[in-house]
């Protein structure tokens, strides 16, 4: 499957579809009427034909590629929602009326899709954030980027009651399948998806043992998935 196929995937009310396109936190999320691209890095801008918004969680090279963001914007005239540090790197490249600084506690409307900006526990980054995305039909998706678990995730889970949570399981400092499971246990999503790492089976094993009420979906890169 491909991003182009995701872009053309028809959805019913209450459905979302998504695709993981790199080894990190690169996700394309499609709702019934919008397409959001999160952390487009290590991929060419030509892979994307449609976008309502691009979301950037922090400034590291595997999450922010300024040239790719600029080209996607040039093609689609979409909103760009970026953490403070990434914002400063994009300010000369993106029209000011389309570039939005993502501050913790902030909320951005993307033509009916709500993006809430929440904290991220990723110490190597300057101003990291995570995103809670609520579709126009009320489906909630929590994108944790590179975050380690932290206590405030329990508040986030209780506030939004996410349907899906993408849980970081590796690559970033101190992250592992165990820390990914701790994210799921704090947030309590209906579906936990291990990403940003390679030990998905270990994550699934631990989650089944410690939080069997949470469904685990192990995803493959470049494949379209639909929820529910």
Residue where the block lists tokens 């053309």? 8
Residue-level pLDDT at 184: 98
Burial 134-149 (b: 16+ CB within 10 A, else e): bbbbebbbbbbbbbbb
Ranges of the chain with pLDDT below 70 = 1
Residue-level pLDDT at 88: 98
Residue-level pLDDT at 57: 98
Q: Residue 161 is encoded by which pair of tokens?
A: 């009651």
Residue-level pLDDT at 136: 97
For 219, phi then psi, to 5°, come to -105, 155
Residue-level pLDDT at 186: 98
Q: Any idea where the domains of the chain sit in the sequence?
A: 3-227
Is 3-227 assigned to CATH 3.40.50.180?
no
How many angstroms separate the CA atoms of 112 and 134, rounded?
A: 9
Cis, bond preceding 228 (omega within 30 deg of 0): yes
Residue-level pLDDT at 6: 96
Q: Please give the model's pTM, rounded to 2 decimal places.
A: 0.97
Q: Residue 223 is encoded by which pair of tokens?
A: 């494949």
134 touches 160 (CB < 8 A): yes
Residue-level pLDDT at 122: 98
Query: What is the 8-class DSSP label of residue 98?
Result: T
């Amino acid at each position: 499957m491909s991003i182009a196929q995701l872009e053309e995937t028809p959805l019913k009310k209450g459905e979302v579809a998504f695709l993981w396109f790199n080894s990190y936190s690169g996700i394309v999320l499609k709702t019934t009427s919008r397409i959001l691209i999160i952390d487009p890095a290590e991929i060419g801008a030509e892979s994307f034909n449609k976008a309502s918004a691009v979301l950037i969680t922090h400034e590291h090279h595997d999450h922010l590629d300024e040239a790719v963001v600029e080209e996607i914007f040039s093609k689609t005239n979409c909103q760009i929602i970026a953490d403070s540090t990434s914002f400063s790197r994009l300010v000369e490249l993106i029209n000011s009326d389309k570039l939005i600084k993502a501050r913790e506690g902030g909320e951005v409307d993307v033509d009916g899709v709500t993006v809430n900006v929440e904290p991220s526990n990723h110490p190597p980054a300057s101003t990291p954030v995570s995103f809670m995305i609520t579709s126009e039909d009320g489906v909630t998706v929590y994108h944790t980027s590179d975050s380690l678990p932290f206590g405030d995730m329990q508040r986030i889970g209780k506030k939004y009651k996410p349907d899906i949570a993408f849980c970081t399981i590796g690559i970033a400092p101190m992250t592992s399948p165990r820390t990914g499971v701790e994210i799921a246990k704090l947030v309590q999503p209906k579906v936990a998806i291990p990403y940003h790492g390679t030990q998905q089976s270990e994550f699934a094993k631990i989650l089944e043992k410690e939080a069997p009420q949470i469904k685990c979906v192990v995803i493959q890169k470049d494949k379209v998935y639909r929820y529910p």
